[in-house]
Structure 1
């Protein structure tokens, strides 16, 4: 009798679990989930992009998975992404709040949910970047000034091989530091080293198996498991940034901002409304968002770019010929020069397309009951854009699966940008730093190619273009040889 009672309760428990894992009516199709695990076994930690592509072939451009008991929807292809991010942008403008990376960042600008507070903070970030010099000679000079230090480092490496990873991380980080803090940091600076350490460790945590367990199994979140290291790192980062804010408060001249931090402090002084979202806590998280997003993605894109340039020397030489022709005897490039460099511009955009640095964008959340490609998505549905499906979509590109600048050139050799070029996503949650990133890539690649030649070492073997998974994608570590160009 007792055994029968236990068996009955087990059956009821399994039945309840099965109900929790049922897809709502007219919900996108997908593989059958297992109780408790959902579809976790359908995904591998080392190469989820391959698994998502396999599922796309089975279930179409819009399908669903269960991560634990939570259903998520994966969207693929230009048509589905345009409908979600542009046509119905506000419907898909939310962010999931109950996951590790959101808890770590405490709803910073990138991961804050859609609403008045996020709108106010984003408006400040976009307008301050623009008013502070984005697209003007002021911003150009900041980038070129930092490039001077990079070229000094490269000159010391002439004739030898080097790993460019730290070089580009330092370059990208200091360009952001100049904009945010008004100063640069040497690689030996203790503040800089500690920030890099915390970012690196949290980046690995946020994309690893412990993050997946944290997201799918809330009961374990207070246990002393490895993800707790992420929260300790965030406390360290907040203390470091709080120290910089204190320094700025002591030296700020009202109405004469030196950097974004000063601009925010000015805004704090003006914001006496109870409805204002401006606070010192929000300032700390905004700074951390700008630093992480601006450093990691830019550095990894540059690493991919110089991997291709060094292993495809004919493309490098063609860029250099165009750069020499356009710049002539000018001391340096200006951003307007890009209009006369269609091939170089095509190479830069092709690097971004093939690098696909943020392969799943940042997860979205439906803000209300909505429809996508005929399917019904309830409010609060987590949505993952598969950017690889867009940046490599058949029919959208001349050469979708290989590195080819012709993807961005028409028959007359003029630069064109296909609608499928969405490395910064699209719509209301499009990356606010897109224009700054484009400026960085242009000045860095043009300036370095004008002076140096980058060579794949003879003893380095065949290059490996397969990306390494993380919060962002990066190339496998590699070494390149640096030479001064004979024209210099």
Structure 2
């Protein structure tokens, strides 16, 4: 009987029935539960990919927020996403109900890069133990202390020297800045820095830069939504995976070097401290060598990319706004002079300079959505039902550019952070996010931004090359960075 029915059905009829079946299955799988946040019209199988501008997701979310409000849902392939905007809802998700939205979601491309056993994408007990150990260890090696400040000041001198070598000619500062910033975190992880002419380390930094940029490519985003198909196709995602294998090889070599001359009674750096923790065997599920590999890679990547991107924005803004740059330099000359390097204690007296640095962070907006979260249980936000497993994005851009909080939100204006000539920090300034999973390296990043920026402005005036118009067009990857540019560092 079945054989007869099969023979009597034409191929065309079979394909129609198959397509209808798949449509129904897709609808049943992806339909929104009752009282889910408002959602745009969804295409079968593709979801809301048709709405996304992968080159400018900030603009896409801005448009959808105007239409659907401060909380709305999206379907990207098989992922159900809720995006929240505005201080009230961002705080609700990250602080008031922070424990319900603590975990990182399963994002395919990030699972290949930031593994579920490191600091960035791990969850539960593993994440808590790794974060606690890392914060304690970094403090032991100088985080928040004078010793680390001196390391940053030393790196500022090295960076100024390589800038001076350019003799005021146009050059791309990207690799030099990245090397300087990376050296600070490397001194904590490995116990040493790398020279700017070290070709192997320069190649490594280029791999990291490419990974960060290629995260924003269309094929990388499609891999997140359709991994089972995209893993067989060429594209930026394949380059990311290849580069990450090379980074793992470098990190394994560093760990092996430490194991050869490791002295349990004398920890020189983060790797030594982690090896000691592994040797204790108290929590063998948490402290393993593969976890050490993941944590060190996370620290190096996170401790380099966002800070170096912010500093590149800073030099760009100074070259485009020479009057602001001149005012910063005048304040540095009055408070510090040229005889000594800037120190963190100078921050209290450099009100305008501090305001400029904060405005660079606000306008540069290098992490517009922070890192994604996932609902660990069924929850309600603003009366809407968020089922367990839903991916949550917090739109930090909505805070940094809130028209009700900033006088000229779309203009680079240091006055946003000044009151009566004194530095003043707006509560809507949250580039490092908030809550229990806020940026682990905030203290380090803030120290680096201040010392690198003031040291460079103390020694140089930054200008556009002759007959060149610098662009503020952003480039979206893991961080939002300026497009590569050339600049002139004119010694003062």
Q: TM-score range by the shorter chain?
A: over 0.9
Shift in Å at residue 55 of structure 1? Answer: 0.6
Superposed displacement of residue 458, structure 1: 3.8
Q: CA RMSD in A?
A: 2.0
Summarize deviations over 1:211-246 as a string: whole Å, max 9, x none. 222222243255253434433333322221111112
Identify the residue that residue 270 of structure 2 maps to in structure 1.
Answer: 260
Residue 9 of structure 2: aligned partner: 2
SS of 2:243's equivalent?
A: helix
Q: Is 1:478 matched up with 2:485? A: yes
Larger mean CA deviation between 203-212 and 345-354 belongs to: 203-212
Where does residue 5 of structure 2 map in the other structure?
Answer: none
1:52-77, Cα deviation, whole Å (9 max, x unpaired): 11111110011111101321011112
Residue 385 of structure 2: SS of its match in structure 1? strand
Contact 1:408 1:418 in 2 (8 A): yes
2: CA distance, partners of 1:404 / 1:416? 13
Give the structure 2 partner of residue 347 of structure 1: 356
- For 1:293-332, list aligned pairs within 5 A: 293-328=302-337, 331-332=340-341
Whole-Å separation in 2 of the counterparts to 1:310 and 1:178: 31
Matches within 5 A, 1:61-76: 61-76=70-85
| Rounded Cα–Cα distance in structure 1 between residues aligned with 2:98 and 2:115 | 24
CA deviation profile, 1:296-320 (whole Å, cap 9, x unmatched): 1111100100111122112112112
Aligned to 1:208: 217
1:174 pairs with one of 173, 183, 195? 183
1:235 aligns with 2:283: no
* CA drift at 1:339: 1.0
* 1:259-302 CA distance string (max 9 Å, x none): 222222222223x1245501111111111111111111111100
Cα–Cα, structure 1 residues 197 and 344, in superposed 2: closer, same or farther, change >3 Å?
closer
Q: CA deviation at 1:251?
A: 2.6
- Asked if the contact 1:21/1:35 (under 8 Å) is kept, the reply is no
Question: Partner residue of 1:455?
Answer: 463
Is the Cα–Cα contact under 8 Å of residues 101 and 206 in structure 1 kept in the other structure?
no
Establish whether residue 395 from structure 1 lines up as the match of residue 376 from structure 2: no
**Deviation per residue, 1:424-479 (Å, 9 max, x gap):** 11111111001100000111111111122222334112x31121111111112222
Partners in 1 of 2:338 and 2:363 — Cα distance?
Answer: 33
Match of 1:438 among 432, 446, 469: 446
DSSP-derived class of the 1:162 partner: coil
What are the ranges of 5 or more consecutive residues in structure 1 without an aligned counterpart? Answer: none
* Matched residue, 1:143: 152
Partner of 1:460, secondary structure, is coil
In structure 2, the partner of 1:291 is: 300
- 1:93 and 2:65 matched: no
Alignment partners' CA distance in 1, 2:370 and 2:35: 25
Range that drifts further, 146-155 or 210-219: 210-219
Separation of aligned partners in 2, 1:453 and 1:376:
53
Q: Secondary structure at the match of 1:429?
A: coil
2:255 matches 1:245: yes
Asked if 2 retains the 8 angstrom alpha-carbon contact of 1:96 and 1:113, the reply is no
Encode CA deviations 1:6-47: one digit per residue, 9 max, x unaligned: 645543332222222311111111211111100101102222
Q: How many residues align?
A: 482
Deviation at 1:126, TM superposition (A): 1.6
Give the secondary structure class of the aligned counterpart of 1:163: coil
Match of 2:112 in 1: 103
Q: Distance in 2 between matches of 1:275 and 1:108?
A: 13
Are residues 1:159 and 2:156 paired? Answer: no
> SS at the partner of 1:357?
coil
Shift of 1:114: 2.5
Distance 2:83 2:38 in 1: 10
- The Cα shift of 1:415 comes to 1.4
Unaligned ranges ≥5, structure 2: 1-7
TM-score by length of 2: 0.93
Q: What's 2:372 paired with?
A: 363
238-247 or 300-309: bigger deviation: 238-247
1:333 maps to 2:342: yes
Change in 2 beyond 3 A, CA 1:34/1:460:
same
Paired with 1:232 and 1:332, the residues of 2 have a C-alpha distance of 41
- Report the counterpart of residue 79 of structure 1 in structure 2: 88
Matched, 1:269 2:269: no
Q: Distance in 1 between matches of 2:252 and 2:367?
A: 29
